[in-house]
């Protein structure tokens, strides 16, 4: 009896020792860890943890701890506002214990701000009224187009004067432009055409058509040739109107391709039947 008590006591001691000496690990298929600020060594809360391989995500708690389902060779991505992002690839060493992720703070440079003291509302209103607003690209383009239009108008006026002078026989009354002035007017006209083409290309180009229709390579080239939009339509239409027209053309194009393929098949079937018939004879 005494020996039996001693034996069971020994077994119990071994079990307790094994439980206390066992290292705590994660559940199979899960990875746990803590995300820490690399400067102050404190946990970072509400960090977005994404398992990019399995498309799963969780948020870290207020102490920076997290647990997420993951497997060997999965990629974990850590991101949060105010810190530089980081990613790791899980291996055997990271799968067998807590992961410690250090994130470095992100520092933002703020431009210098001038503060002026204004003693009354009337002075503030006057100051605000005189504040110059920086010109946008649209404003700059508009002013350039106005200057170009003035130059083109002057050139048109010059040619009209030359025409009237030639018809009236008084060439001395026609204004004479120097070669430099003529070259400048031609340059302005060229710039005007380039500006118009630039605005068209922003609204209608290969990438826009490819994203809208899903076409590519030779089929995309064929469809764009099929569209044949006029420059006037592309210039004065909004991008929405152009995209609607592209979709209409695309439906027509698909019907045309479908009829073409059916006709080709019918011709093939007709030729095959004729050949078989002739062979039978």
Over the stretch 160-198, which tens digit does the pLDDT of each residue have?
A: 776 666 666 554 555 566 677 777 777 777 777 888 888
Q: What's phi and psi for 30, nearest 5 deg?
A: -125, 150
What is the C-alpha separation between 30 and 91, in angstroms, rounded?
Answer: 13
Cα separation of the two ends of the chain: 110
Poorest-pLDDT segment among 50-59, 252-261, 262-271: 262-271
CATH architecture of 30-103: Sandwich (2.60)
What pLDDT score was predicted for residue 144? 75
Reported as a single tens digit per residue, the pLDDT across 19-43 is 444 344 445 589 999 999 999 999 9
Reported residue count of the chain is: 281
**In sequence order, what are the residues at sequence separation of 6 or more whose Cβ sits closer than 8 angstroms to the Cβ of residue 90?**
31, 70, 71, 72, 73, 74, 75, 76
Mean confidence (pLDDT) of the chain: 77
pLDDT at 104 over 90: yes
Tokens 């470095």 belong to residue: 104
Q: Where are the domains of the chain?
A: 30-103, 138-200, 206-258
| Per-residue model confidence (pLDDT) at position 278 | 35
Q: Between the ranges 113-117, 138-142, 273-277, where is the mean pLDDT highest?
A: 138-142
pLDDT at 228: 83
Residue 104 and residue 84: Cα distance in Å, rounded? 6
Q: For residue 57, what are the β-bridge partners?
A: 50
Query: Which residues face 104 on adjacent strands?
Result: none
The whole-angstrom separation of Cα 30 and Cα 151 is 72
Whole-prediction pTM value? 0.34
Residue 93's CB: how many other CB atoms inside 10 A? 8
């Amino acid at each position: 009896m005494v020996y039996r008590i001693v034996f069971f006591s020994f077994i119990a001691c071994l079990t307790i020792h094994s439980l206390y000496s066992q290292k705590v690990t994660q559940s199979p298929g899960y990875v746990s860890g803590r995300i820490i600020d690399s400067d102050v060594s404190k946990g970072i809360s509400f960090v977005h943890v994404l398992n990019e391989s399995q498309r799963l995500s969780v948020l870290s708690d207020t102490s920076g701890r997290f647990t997420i389902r993951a497997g060997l060779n999965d990629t974990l991505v850590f991101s949060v506002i105010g810190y530089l992002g980081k990613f790791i690839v899980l291996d055997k060493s990271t799968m067998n214990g807590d992961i410690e992720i250090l994130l470095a703070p992100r520092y933002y440079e703020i431009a210098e701000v001038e503060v002026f003291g204004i003693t009354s509302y009337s002075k503030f209103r006057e100051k605000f009224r005189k504040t110059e607003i920086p010109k946008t690209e649209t404003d700059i383009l508009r002013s350039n187009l106005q200057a170009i239009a003035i130059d083109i108008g002057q050139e048109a006026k010059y040619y009209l004067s030359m025409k009237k002078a030639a018809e009236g026989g008084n060439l001395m009354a026609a204004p004479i432009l120097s070669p430099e002035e003529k070259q400048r007017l031609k340059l302005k006209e060229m710039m005007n055409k380039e500006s118009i083409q630039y605005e068209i290309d922003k609204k209608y180009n290969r990438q826009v058509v490819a994203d809208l229709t899903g076409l590519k390579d030779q089929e995309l080239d064929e469809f764009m040739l099929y569209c044949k939009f006029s420059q006037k339509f592309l210039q004065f239409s909004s991008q929405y109107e152009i995209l609607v027209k592209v979709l209409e053309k695309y439906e027509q194009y698909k019907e045309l391709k479908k009829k073409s393929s059916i006709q080709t098949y019918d011709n093939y079937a007709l030729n095959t039947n004729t050949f078989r018939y002739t062979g039978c004879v």
